[in-house]
Amino acid sequence: MDEDALRDIGLTPGESRVYLGLIRLGSSTTGPLAMHAGVSSSKVYKILDRLERKGLVGHIIRSKTKHFTALSASRILDYLDQNRQELEKKRARFAEVLPRLESERKKSTRQADAAVYEGSKAVTNLFRTMLDELKPGETYYVIGAGYGNVPHLRDFFHGHHRRRSEKGVHVKMLANFDVKETLVKTTRKNSHIRFLPAYMVTPMEIVFYQDKAFITIWTQEPQAFFLQNAEAVRSFRTYFDAFWKVAKAG
């Protein structure tokens, strides 16, 4: 558990084991430390050097031999604060070039009209991009809204619909019947929702807006097919309007 926590803040597996080794051994030379941490003697020096540069380990020399010790675990907070400051600087620098990069991307004649995205991060990024592109007062449409079998998907949509509502973007949604009682509460803000009958429930969800659409399969490893095609969007809108008539309000 402790090792997992250290990895979560950015330490490598080797750094985590060596730091915990020093916590448990107290002052130590490299031999016992390498054995306790389960790393090779050749690697432990490099790991200790990195930990010293991160401000988490110190050393003293006794009888011409280095003895290493872990600094107070509270120094981890200092390390996190420093990383956060560096990240904020990098974010600010990137924000300066972002408009130029996005302008170049939109001008590119090689931009794909269709693409396949795999994995939770890539697929949910389609929703993030959609919110970036839609203006306040605009609407997007959903056929077959559900949560499938994807861990933390409800948490994602809770934040997504909160941001959508705050921006003033509307959604007109045909949700699956099986989420009628468990729909994320923020979904109902600035929205019109009806529920598809049980016989139409599938893990597939279609989202469309402007001249773009993406078809998502909400399985453990989600996949989405994105296309930018005005005719396809018009076709999806035709299906949506037909399904809307048979769906039930809830």
Q: Do both 38 and 132 map to the same domain? A: no
**What is the token pair recorded at 82?**
């420093």
Q: Give this prediction's pTM.
A: 0.61
What pLDDT sits at residue 108? 54
| Residues whose CB is less than 8 angstroms from the CB of residue 93 and which lie 6 or more positions away in sequence, other chains included | none
Q: How many domains does the chain have?
A: 2
What pLDDT sits at residue 233? 95
Give the domain range for residue 129: 112-249
CATH number for position 53:
1.10.10.10
Residue 93 lies in a domain: no
Largest Cα–Cα distance of the chain, in whole Å? 86
Q: Do both 67 and 173 map to the same domain? A: no
Q: Do both 118 and 237 map to the same domain? A: yes
* Residue at a domain's end among 75, 99, 125: 75
What pLDDT sits at residue 134? 96
| Residues whose CB is less than 8 angstroms from the CB of residue 11 and which lie 6 or more positions away in sequence, other chains included | 19
Q: Do both 169 and 230 map to the same domain? A: yes
Residue 225 lies in a domain: yes
* Residue at a domain's end among 75, 104, 125: 75
What pLDDT sits at residue 105? 61
Question: Are 181 and 215 contacting, i.e. CB atoms less than 8 angstroms apart?
Answer: no
Q: Do both 71 and 127 map to the same domain? A: no
CATH number for position 146:
3.30.870.10
pLDDT in tens, the chain (250 residues): 577 878 877 888 999 899 888 888 888 899 999 999 999 888 998 999 998 888 888 888 888 888 988 877 777 777 778 778 878 887 888 788 777 776 766 665 444 578 899 999 999 999 999 999 999 999 999 999 999 878 789 999 999 999 999 999 999 999 998 898 889 999 999 999 999 988 888 889 999 999 999 999 998 889 999 999 999 999 999 999 999 998 988 7
Q: Do both 186 and 243 map to the same domain? A: yes
| Residues whose CB is less than 8 angstroms from the CB of residue 33 and which lie 6 or more positions away in sequence, other chains included | 18, 21, 22, 25, 44, 48, 68
**What is the token pair recorded at 131?**
């919110």
Q: Do both 133 and 236 map to the same domain? A: yes
